[in-house]
């Protein structure tokens, strides 16, 4: 029997403002869309937290036995510098400043994005579509919205008519904003502005002669609005209505609000059943910003090459730190917080290692494993409450240490179920890796090889070539190549 049939998962739905029992549209199947990065710079650590939260959600849904189609897009066109529908496309601007073809910018930072996520041990999404790969679909949606009277064309650009839409629908229902209040708090349009109302947003923008990212359309050469791509890609791969749409809290308005409006205007119904939003990551109590210097990139944390932290931290230690806060809570990154999390992460990894080495006892098990395991599920079933899960895992850590010390008992029949559960929750669902053990093993291997090189050098100095050749040949057989040079002997592992 699939676990989802025995575990009742509840999620906080931003659309309704309450926790709801998760019931997918199609039994046993989940469609999930998450807004991906705009690839014009190195991936922001705050974005990593958002994607990590939904990686955990993806992992848990799969663990429960759901067949999940997870779509996370790449925005490689159409994202203007601000949400007021003016300025330059972020990728086009980067390309102009660095004198590159826009797709060179896209390629460079898409590779960086994938590299960082791989270090954090993310599972790849089922589909990773790009905005530029779906221009045709976006044009077709625009034509449909125009035909239904919810948009207008002016001077080669097409805008969504929020006022007209709001007469029969509710614009602002996700963010809780009222259109009347938005209008009251908005400055009057400049005479040269193409939009009928300040709240209207671009579905298609006319490309000026200097604009280097452009596509032909029924309204002339141009490029799609930022909000439209997610409507096109999510519904193409998940259907006109799907289960989960995720993203950062900062996307709730206007991006996700506009997505709802576009889909309702085109399809006549709401596109998403459950809206999930992850909260922001701050640094030393302040918003991360390159302009103020209060910013740090993932690779700067992993290498220790920064002026903010006292040492380097492994990706898994950073991931453990992020999992210690609920995905809907603001999380503050600091040196002290990472040091404390690293200690906790190391204790958890050490306990899992020790559990595998424990000799079972004759005495009956003194820990209610079944009850503990269900409490781990209860934490995750409560809107993916990873901090409660981690606290519950540490109940088992304490027990494992007691068994090791001889003050608690663990029978053979209970050892394997406990070990499987610990590994499933820590590795399969939280997405941690035992990088401490990998690092220790690497250091131990290096030390061992260096010792053998020293013994080989001594044998060669004593003209004991049979022993020196034997050391070299046996290391070669193990895939360790020695290289003698002017600076001494080095080695590489094939």
CATH number of the domain residue 70 falls in: 3.40.50.620
Q: How many domains does the chain have?
A: 3
What distance in Å separates the CA atoms of residue 156 and residue 197, rounded to the nearest whole number?
17
**Residue 244: which of 477, 71, 43, 435 has the closest Cα?**
71
- Sign of the dihedral defined by the CA atoms of residues 473, 479, 483, 484, in that order: negative
> Measured in whole angstroms, how far is the alpha carbon of residue 469 from the centre of its chain?
50
Same domain, 15 and 50: yes
Quick check: is 296 in a domain?
Answer: no
Residue 415 · residue 355 · CB < 8 Å:
yes
Can you give the pLDDT at residue 191?
Answer: 45
Can you give the pLDDT at residue 185?
Answer: 78
Which of 399, 433, 467 is the last residue before a domain boundary?
A: 433
Quick check: is 283 in a domain?
Answer: no
pTM assigned to the model: 0.87
At 206 the three-state DSSP class reads strand
Q: Please list the alpha-helical segments (H only) found in 169-307.
A: 179-184, 226-238, 257-267, 298-303
Which of 414, 433, 452 is the last residue before a domain boundary?
A: 433
Q: Please list the alpha-helical segments (H only) found in 206-334.
A: 226-238, 257-267, 298-303, 315-323
Domain membership of residue 411 as a residue range: 303-433
Can you give the pLDDT at residue 490?
Answer: 75
Quick check: is 293 in a domain?
Answer: no
Same domain, 342 and 199: no
Instruction: Give 118's contacts (C-beta < 8 A, 6+ positions apart).
Output: none
What distance in Å separates the CA atoms of residue 360 and residue 172, rounded to the nearest whole number?
59
Same domain, 405 and 459: no
Same domain, 457 and 319: no
Same domain, 194 and 325: no
Quick check: is 453 in a domain?
Answer: yes
Cis peptide before 246 (omega within 30 of 0): no
Q: Which residue is associated with the tokens 């997918």?
A: 24
Can you give the pLDDT at residue 469?
Answer: 86
Please report how many Cα atoms fall inside a 13 Å half-sphere around the Cα of residue 487, on the Cβ side: 2
Instruction: Give 273's contacts (C-beta < 8 A, 6+ positions apart).
Output: 13, 24, 25, 241, 242, 243, 244
Q: Where are the beta strands (DSSP E) in 35-87?
A: 67-72
Same domain, 141 and 263: yes
Whole-number Cα distances in Å, 15 to 38, 175, 239, 270 = 25, 8, 19, 11
Same domain, 106 and 12: yes
Same domain, 190 and 329: no
Same domain, 427 and 447: no
DSSP state of 43: P
Quick check: is 289 in a domain?
Answer: no
Quick check: is 285 in a domain?
Answer: no
Same domain, 210 and 255: yes
Instruction: Give 92's contacts (C-beta < 8 A, 6+ positions apart).
Output: 102, 211, 212, 213
Same domain, 447 and 344: no
Quick check: is 481 in a domain?
Answer: yes
Walking along the chain (494 residues) 10 residues at a time, the average pLDDT comes out as 96 98 98 96 94 98 98 90 66 88 94 97 98 97 98 97 96 93 72 82 92 94 95 98 97 96 97 98 89 88 94 97 98 97 97 96 97 98 98 98 97 97 98 74 71 85 86 83 78 68
What distance in Å separates the CA atoms of residue 275 and residue 273, rounded to the nearest whole number?
7
Query: C-alpha angle 206/208/212, rounded to 5°?
Result: 100
Residue 462: which H helix or E strand, with range? none
């Amino acid at each position: 029997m699939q676990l989802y049939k025995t575990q009742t998962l509840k999620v906080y739905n931003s659309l309704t403002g309450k926790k709801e029992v998760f019931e997918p549209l199609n039994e046993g199947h989940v469609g999930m869309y998450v807004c991906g990065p705009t690839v014009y710079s190195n991936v922001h650590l705050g974005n990593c937290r958002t994607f990590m939260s939904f990686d955990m959600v993806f992992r848990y849904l799969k663990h429960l036995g759901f067949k999940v189609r997870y779509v996370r897009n790449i925005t490689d066109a159409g994202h203007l510098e601000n949400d007021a529908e003016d300025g330059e496309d972020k990728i086009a601007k980067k390309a102009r400043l660095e004198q590159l073809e826009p797709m060179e910018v896209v390629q460079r930072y898409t590779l960086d994005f994938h590299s960082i996520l791989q270090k954090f041990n993310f599972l790849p999404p089922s589909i990773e579509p790009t905005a530029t790969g779906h221009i045709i679909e976006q044009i077709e949606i625009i034509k449909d919205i125009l035909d239904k009277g919810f948009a207008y064309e002016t001077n080669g650009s097409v805008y969504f008519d929020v006022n007209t839409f709001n007469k029969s629908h509710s614009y602002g229902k996700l963010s809780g904003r009222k259109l009347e209040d938005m209008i009251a708090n908005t400055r009057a349009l400049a005479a040269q502005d193409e939009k009928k109302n300040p709240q209207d947003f671009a579905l298609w923008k006319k490309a000026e002669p200097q604009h280097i990212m452009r596509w032909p359309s029924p309204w002339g050469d141009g490029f799609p609005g930022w909000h439209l791509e997610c409507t096109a890609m999510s519904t193409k791969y998940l259907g006109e209505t799907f289960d989960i749409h995720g993203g950062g809290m900062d996307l709730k308005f206007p991006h996700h609000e506009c997505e709802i409006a576009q889909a309702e205007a085109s399809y006549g119904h709401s596109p998403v059943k459950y809206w999930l939003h992850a909260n922001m990551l701050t640094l030393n109590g302040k918003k991360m910003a390159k302009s103020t210097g209060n910013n740090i990139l993932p690779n700067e944390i992993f290498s220790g090459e920064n002026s903010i932290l006292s040492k380097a931290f492994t990706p898994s230690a950073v991931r453990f730190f992020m999992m210690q806060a609920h995905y809907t809570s603001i999380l503050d990154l600091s040196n002290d917080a990472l040091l404390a999390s690293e200690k906790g992460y190391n204790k958890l990894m050490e306990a899992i290692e020790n559990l595998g080495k424990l000799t079972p006892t004759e005495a009956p098990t003194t820990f209610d494993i079944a009850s503990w395991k269900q409490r781990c599920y209860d934490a995750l079933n409560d809107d993916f409450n990873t901090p409660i899960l981690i606290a519950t895992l540490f109940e088992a850590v304490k027990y494992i240490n007691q068994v090791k010390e001889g003050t608690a008992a663990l029978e053979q029949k209970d050892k394997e179920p406990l070990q499987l559960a610990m590994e499933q929750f820590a590795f399969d669902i939280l997405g941690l890796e035992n990088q401490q053990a990998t690092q220790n093993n690497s250091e131990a291997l290096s030390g061992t090889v260096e010792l053998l090189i020293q013994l080989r050098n001594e044998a060669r100095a004593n003209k004991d070539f049979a022993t020196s050749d034997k050391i070299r040949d046996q290391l070669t057989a193990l895939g360790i190549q020695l290289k003698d040079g002017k600076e001494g002997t080095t080695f590489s592992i094939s």
